[in-house]
Structure 1
Amino acid sequence: MNVKIEDVSSIKKKLNFEVAADQVDKEISKAFKKIGKTAKIKGFRAGKIPVAVLEKYYGAQMEQEVLSRLINDTYFQALQENAIPVVGEPNILDSSGIIKGEAFTYEAEVEIKPEVTAKDYTKLSLEKEKFVADPKVLDSRLEEMRTSRAQVEPTTRKKAREGDSVVIDFEGFVDGVAFEGGKGEDHLLELGSGSFIPGFEDQVVGMKREDAKDVEVTFPEEYGQAELAGKPAVFKVVMKEIKEKVVPELDDEFAKGFGVDTLDELKAQLQTSYETQEINRVEGDLREKLVGKLIEKNPVEVPEAMIVKQLEYMYENICNRMQSQGMKPEMLGITPENFRENYRETAIEQVSGNLILEAIGRQENIVADESEIDAKLEEIATMANAPIDMVKKYYAGAEARSGLMAQIAEEKVVSFLLESAKVKEVAPKKEEEAEPKKDAAPEKAKKKTEKKADKGDA
């Protein structure tokens, strides 16, 4: 095999292959021998079919098998022998046919990992938000916890109000005709939850037990059922029961439901959790600013394959996060397609940042040592509440261990850069001034898909 390598760009190479005729002939013989074992041709016994006959009936299959094997074998051999850091799959630009007695040639274009040499990465000027604890947060979290433990009980109040849970019968009509999925009986609805189409719940507020009412609404233009989208509808609603939320008292008994003995302990636990989250957020924002500065000073051309891989990783992350909350991306209108569109620039920034940090680590000879690896494994085991032996076994694999070492090295590089940086503390941003997080749902996907009428479908 002969291979010529051409540089197309800083992230692309073209490989021109020539496979000798004798190697081609060997592969042709192997292919026909394999095909001949199972081939069925009238007038011939299996395994006894002459090659000339096999060529006539199975020539196309032979050519495909030989072409695939030759490309696969020679391509990976060339990558190994020439230490080409390929990312993604090769693009086969051209290839000759498989002909006995003739050499086989083909061209492949590949994307490669960029060779980054970082510069101007020390003594960077950065602004860090000063952490100031907000006393309102603790009260807000306690109230959320009380609400989560609320019981729904019948009320003596005559009229339903927002926040109540009501039991209703309903049936929807468009142009006077009942539509599929528009009927429900003994349906429990929390007023103000937004689980029915806009305008429905507002008109149920104020109804009394046994009241009957025509609720007039218009289906949103983006409604999931195309035949209803944008159309006016009338729902005949009957109020059957009105229930209200009763929240527990904020006392020691309440605190015991969360695994502590006193309310003071619960408050201390929540305060610690809040402060840890906020400090991590501030540190995360500082890291983002650091990486942003590095990218400004060290522009990197990023291969498409690395962008695609990062987008897949990000999408999988958001899916897992939503699944843990009992949600699906589709519920927020997030699809793989609009996610890729909205997050492409973020993915490019993240890959660029990783490449630059990796380059700095290499230039500064920053690596993970055994004690740091052991400490990280202990940390992972604690966070996952898993036995340390199980964690060590998982990270004993070459790929997992390599990834862990890269993660530790990157953390050390960031610490090294922050130690040399000129960091100025600034007042915390007001809520309305805060920049949206880059991992938030895409703007185009933020509008929640309207639900159907029956059981959350109206």
Structure 2
Amino acid sequence: MNVSVEELSQIRKKLVIEIAADKVSEMIEDAYKKIAKTASLKGFRKGKIPRALLERHFEPRMQHDVTGALINETLYKALMDEKIDAVSQPQVVDSGALTGGEAFTYQVEVEVKPQVVAKDYTGIALEREAYQLEAASVEKRLEEMAESRAQLEVTSRKKAREGDTVILDFTGYLEGAPFENGAATDYQLELGSGSFIPGFEEQVVGLKREDEKDIELTFPENYGAKELAGKPVVFKVLIKEIKEKVQPKLNDDFAKEFDAETLVELKERVGADILKQESARIDNQVQEQLMNALVERNPMDVPEGMIENQLKNLKQSFSGRLQAQGMTLEMLGMNDEVFAQSYRPMAEQQVKGELILESIGELEKIEVADGDIDKKIEEIAAESNAPLNTVQDYFKKPEMREGLEYQVQHDKILAFLIAKAEVSEVEPKADDAEEKES
């Protein structure tokens, strides 16, 4: 086998692979022997068809079988011999006809990882947001915690208002007749949640216990049940109970529900958590600035295959987070095509950034020591509140260990770059401050 390699671009190579004539003849002979065992031709028993007739009637099949076998047998060996690390499926762009006694030549094009030598990666100007923990932030977080422990209790108020939960019976009518799946008894509905048909909850606000009302509304045009989409209907409603959320008081007893002895201790812990979260948020902002600057200073083309792989990773991660919330891409009005269009720029940016970081790691000889891994494992165990030996055993698996080493090296390279950057402290932007308070 002879192989020649042509560099088409920084990210694409062409291989011309020639297979010796004797190998081609051998494969053609084997193919016809296999075909002869199963081929059917009028006037001949299986296995008794003369070779000349086999060649006349079954040459296309032979060409297909042998061409595929030769390519499968030689392509990946050629890539290994030439030390070419393809980042996507190689594409056969040309292949000659098979002729016994003659060499067979075919051509493939492959995408390869670009050889990146990073430049201008020190002295980058970065802004780091100054953060000061405020008592109001702690109080707001405590209120959120109290709301999460709120209980529904029958209200002493007569009328339902937004935020209340009503227990009701209802029956829906389309053109005067009850429609399928349009009735419920003791249905629990939080007013203002937007969980019912638009316009329904607003008409329940202000009703009293034992009130009956006909609620008139129109189903949305895009409603799932086509027989109801865009149709005017009437819901006959009976209010049976009105409940409101009652939050626990913020005191030492409340603190004990969160494994704190006193409210003061809980406030200190909440404050520490907020500081940790804000520090992580600000770190991410700084890293994003850094990566944007690196990509801008190191322009490059990247293979489509690497972008596609990163898109798959992003989609898997995003879908996993949605699933944890009981949601799907479709519920957000997205399909695979829309997701790819929306997130492709991010995927391309991330691929470029990782290639640059990899180059910097090599140039600066930033390596991962066993002590780095041990420290990271201890951090993971502490953050997840898991036994250290359990986490250690988990990362003994080769694939898990490899992923952890990659992450640790990634973090070390970022830390090196930030230490070499020109970082200035700035006040939070007004819109950032408002977002944190909301």
Which deviates the most, 264-273 or 285-294?
264-273
Query: What whole-Å deviation, never above 9, does each CA across 1:196-233 have from its counterpart, x for those lacking one?
Result: 12221111111122322222334344444455444444
Q: Which amino acid aligns with 1:194?
A: G
Matches within 5 A, 1:133-212: 133-174=133-174, 176=176, 178-212=178-212
- Over 3 Å counting, the alpha-carbon distance change for 1:258 and 1:49 in structure 2 is farther
> How far apart in 2 are the matches of 1:391 and 1:35?
56
Looking at structure 1, the residues matched to 89 and 50 of structure 2 have their Cα atoms a distance apart, in angstroms, of 35
- The runs of 5 or more residues in structure 2 that have no matched partner are none
Greater CA drift, 272-281 or 411-420: 411-420
SS of aligned partner of 1:89: coil
**What residue is the counterpart of 1:352 in the other structure?**
352
5 Å matches for 1:389-408? 389=389, 391-396=391-396, 398-408=398-408
Looking at structure 2, the residues matched to 379 and 134 of structure 1 have their Cα atoms a distance apart, in angstroms, of 27
Q: Deviation per CA, 1:386-438: give whole Å up to 9, x if none.
A: 555554455445554443333222212211111121111100122368899xx
Q: Residue 331 of structure 2 aligns to which amino acid in structure 1?
A: M
CA distance in 2, matches of 1:51, 1:178: 77
> Would the alpha carbon gap of residues 55 and 372 (structure 1) be closer, same or farther in structure 2, given more than 3 Å must change?
farther
SS where residue 315 of structure 2 aligns? helix
1:320-359 alignment runs, 5 A limit: 320-359=320-359
State how far apart, in whole Å, the 2-side matches of 1:51 and 1:398 are.
Answer: 56
Pairing of 1:253-272 with structure 2 (within 5 A) = 253-272=253-272
Q: Which amino acid aligns with 2:329?
A: P
Name the structure 1 match of 2:9.
Answer: 9
Distance 1:102 1:435, change over 3 A: farther
Three-state SS of the structure 2 residue aligned to 1:88 is coil
Alpha carbons of structure 1 residues 256 and 394: separation in structure 2 relative to 1, 3 Å: closer
2:281 alignment partner in structure 1 = 281
Task: Name the SS for the 2:380 alignment partner.
Answer: helix
User: Does 1:246 find its partner at 2:246?
Assistant: yes
**3-state DSSP class of the match of 1:338?**
helix
1:313 and 2:298 correspond:
no
Contact 2:167–2:187 (CA under 8 A) maintained in structure 1: yes
The answer to whether the Cα contact below 8 Å between 2:361 and 2:367 also exists between their aligned partners in 1 is: yes
Shift of 1:353: 0.9
The alignment's TM-score, normalised by the length of structure 1, stands at 0.84
Q: Secondary structure at the match of 2:105?
A: strand
Identity %: 48
Q: Which residue of 2 aligns with 1:368?
A: 368
Residue 313 of structure 1, CA deviation:
0.7
Deviation at 1:159, TM superposition (A): 1.6
Q: CA deviation at 1:189?
A: 0.5
Cα contact 2:219–2:229 (8 A) shared by 1: yes
Give the conservation status (yes or no) of the 8 Å contact 2:133–2:271: no
Of the two, which has the highest radius of gyration?
A: 2
Q: What amino acid maps onto 2:159 in structure 1? A: K
Matched position secondary structure for 1:288:
helix
1:345 shift after superposition: 0.7
In structure 1, C-alpha distance between the alignment counterparts of 2:180 and 2:100, rounded to whole Å: 66
d(CA) in 2 for partners of 1:232, 1:375: 64
Amino acid at match of 2:216: E
Aligned partner of 1:427 in structure 2 is: 427
> SS where residue 87 of structure 1 aligns?
coil
Shift of 1:34: 6.3
The separation in 2 between residues aligned to 1:211 and 1:311, in whole angstroms, is 54
Cα RMSD after superposing both structures? 3.0
Residues 76-111 of structure 1 deviation map (CA, whole Å, 9 limit, x = unaligned): 112111121311111222223444444333222211
Q: Label 1:399 to 1:150 Cα distance change in 2 as closer, same or farther (>3 A).
A: closer
Work out the number of aligned pairs and report it: 433
CA, structure 1 residues 166+374, in 2 after alignment: closer, same or farther (shift >3 Å)?
same
Paired position in structure 1 for 2:25: 25
Aligned equivalents of 1:296, 1:106: Cα separation in 2: 39
SS in 1 for 2:264: helix
Q: CA deviation at 1:71?
A: 1.8
Within a 5 Å distance, the mapping from 1:95-110 to structure 2 comes to 95-110=95-110
Describe the SS at the equivalent of 1:71: helix
Q: Which whole-Å CA distance do the structure 2 matches of 1:189 and 1:335 have between them?
A: 30
TM-score (norm 2): 0.88
Partner amino acid for 2:237? V
Go from structure 1 to structure 2 and tell me whether the alpha carbon gap of 1:332 and 1:105 turns closer, same or farther (over 3 Å shift): same
**One-letter code of the match for 1:297?**
R
Which one has more relative contact order, counting CA pairs under 8 Å at least 6 apart?
Answer: 1
Corresponding residue for 1:81?
81
Using the alignment, how far apart are the partners of 1:272 and 1:429 within structure 2? 23
Q: Secondary structure at the match of 1:166?
A: strand
Which residue number corresponds to residue 418 of structure 2? 418
Whether contact under 8 Å (1:367, 1:405) holds in the other structure is no
Show the 5 A alignment for 1:288-307. Answer: 288-307=288-307
Question: Distance in 2 between the 1:416 and 1:389 partners?
Answer: 30
Conserved 8 A contact 1:132-1:428: no
Counterparts of 1:105-124 in structure 2 under 5 Å?
Answer: 105-124=105-124
Question: What secondary structure does 2:115 align onto?
Answer: coil
TM-fit CA distance, 1:12? 1.2
CA distance in 2, matches of 1:28, 1:388: 61
